[in-house]
Amino acid sequence: MELTDTFILNNSDILFEDFDDEIVAINLKSGYYYSINGSGILIWELLIKSFSPRQIIKVHTNAFPGTDTEFEQSVKDFITGLESEGLLVQSGEEDKNAEISEDFVQKIRSENKAIQKLPVFEKYTDQQELLLLDPIHEVSDIGWPDRKEDSPENE
C-alpha cells in the first residue's frame, strides 16, 4: 500500500452499518464481522469516498492539531487490516493530491469532536457459522428460490 493509493468498498462481499459511535462491517464470504471505532470511523468514511491515506492523514492533522507521528503509522496499519480482511480493495487510481479546503477541515472538526483517538479495528469470528448458513448467499442472480448451480446441495 502506498500513501497515494485510493480504495473502494468490496461491494460484492461486504455490508456495513454506521451506528454513530461504531461501524459494524460484515464479510459475507468469510462470515466474519468487524467493529470500527475511534478515528477509524472517520478514516473509513473518507476511504470509501476515495480519499488516499496521505489525504486522510492531512485532514486529520489539520482538524486535530497536535496529532503525533504514531497516528500516521496507525492509519497505515488500519488500512492494511481492512484490505487484508477483504473489506476494501485498491481502486487502481492514485489520489490527485487535491487541496483540502479549510471549510472541509472545519466540518470534520465540528462533526468529529471525539474522534481524536487512534483507529480501532476488531475482528469477530463467533457468528461465522450462522452467517455462512444463510441460504440467501446460495441463490442465483435471479434470486430466491433459485439456487446457484454450483451450490453443494445441488450436487
Pairing of the two strands 23-27 and 14-18: antiparallel
**CB-facing half-sphere around the CA of 96: CA atoms within 13 A:** 4
On the question of pLDDT at 145 being above 60, the answer is: no
Per domain, the residue ranges of the chain are: 5-124
pTM of the model: 0.77
Q: CA gyration radius for the chain?
A: 18
Cis peptide upstream of residue 152 (ω within 30 degrees of 0): no
Q: What angle do CA 60, 72, 54 make, to 5 degrees?
A: 65
Tens digits of per-residue pLDDT, 131-140?
A: 777 555 555 5
Span 73-99, mean pLDDT?
88
Sign of the alpha-carbon torsion through 106, 111, 117, 123: negative
- Residue 71 and residue 59: Cα distance in Å, rounded? 12
